[in-house]
Amino acid sequence: MYSALNLDALRVLDAIDKKGSFSAAADALYKVPSALTYTVQKLESELGAKLFDRSGQRAVLTQVGRLVLTQGREILAATTRLEEAVRQLETGWERRLILAKDTVVPDAPLFGLVREFCELGKQIELELTEESLGGSWDALYSGRVDIAIGVGEDRPKGQYQVHKMAELNFVFAISPSHPLAQSDAVISSEALLQFPSVVVADSSRSLPQRSSGLFESRQVIRVPNMRSKIEAQQAGAGVGFIPRHLIAQELAQGSLLAREVALPRAPQALYVAWRKDNDARALNWFASRLPTLDWGID
């Protein structure tokens, strides 16, 4: 059976409630008052209930009318969002964009860029994930994300756009309470064998996992992210290399100490990467700006 409860009827109810009268609502909708009266009467007949109390000078919604309008406004809002999403997709703006950030990359510059993007008013869902070591390349390779931020030079097979964003410099960091902190002398490789090392686990799922910054040690302690690695080394649980920009405050406060080792870790270039066959507009917007941000890493 046909129902009079449609988008046009909901728009009529919304206009009458906002304008306070049938005539004012008719003007707002560019219709004659009799057309609105017909729409409301038909809707009341279909629902078997009065929607407006017309006993006074102003048309007032009944409890049933308020229920229909409250629920109806949600439908109108959803319809508007759907129409905007269709128009957006037709103009090349995708519905969703997923970005993977390596655990060594700071959050603040990326969040600033996200805020700038949101000010464009595009109806796009953004998802930010965190990966470690080869995990960002793995996420891009397997199609889990659209852009990988902070990947290394060892790219997997595939056609990718790659732009350098920063260069990591590493510090061999230890807790002031650690036995290796008792001397300022260069720490030999033999001395490192006596203590556990703390490393961030590779988050790759499809590509072979790899290790980074490993050295011979008595034991390896694997943690999920760089924040955990820093805290583990502050606690004296182990030692290891940490990007300098992540522990500037800890070094200044003395909760971590920088020590020279016989085999230092070389600087590492970081890149922003995405697939060449992805030409969506939101992706291009981020891809053009991410390499130019001041990441505070160098």
- Burial degree of 191 (CB within 10 A; 0-12, 13-18, 19+): middle
Architecture of the CATH domain 7-90 = Orthogonal Bundle (1.10)
Of all residues in the chain, what percent carry a pLDDT higher than 90?
48
Which residues on neighbouring strands pair with residue 242, listed in sequence order?
Answer: 171
For the chain, the C-alpha Rg in angstroms (whole number) is 30
Residue-wise pLDDT for 28-83, tens only, equals 888 888 888 888 888 888 888 888 887 776 778 888 888 888 888 888 877 777 77
What is the dotted CATH code of the domain comprising 170-266? 3.40.190.290
Q: Which of 38-52, 135-149, 221-235, 237-251 has the lowest mean pLDDT?
A: 38-52
How much is the pLDDT for 1? 39
Residue-wise pLDDT for 183-193, tens only, equals 889 999 888 88
- The pTM score is 0.69
User: pLDDT band for position 3 (50/70/90)?
Assistant: low
48: left (phi over 0), alpha (psi -120 to 50) or beta: left
Distance between CA atoms of residues 173 and 243, nearest Å: 10
How much is the pLDDT for 103? 94
CB atoms within 10 A of CB 34: 10
Ranges in the chain annotated CATH 3.40.190.10: 96-167+269-292
How much is the pLDDT for 174? 95
Average pLDDT, the chain: 87
Q: What are phi and psi of 228, to 5 degrees?
A: -65, -40
Ranges in the chain annotated CATH 1.10.10.10: 7-90
Q: Are strands 240-243 and 170-174 parallel, antiparallel or unpaired?
A: antiparallel
What is the dotted CATH code of the domain comprising 96-167+269-292? 3.40.190.10
User: pLDDT band for position 232 (50/70/90)?
Assistant: very high
Ranges in the chain annotated CATH 3.40.190.290: 170-266
How much is the pLDDT for 9? 85
Q: Which amino acid is residue 124, in one-letter code?
A: I
Distance between CA atoms of residues 226 and 101, nearest Å: 12
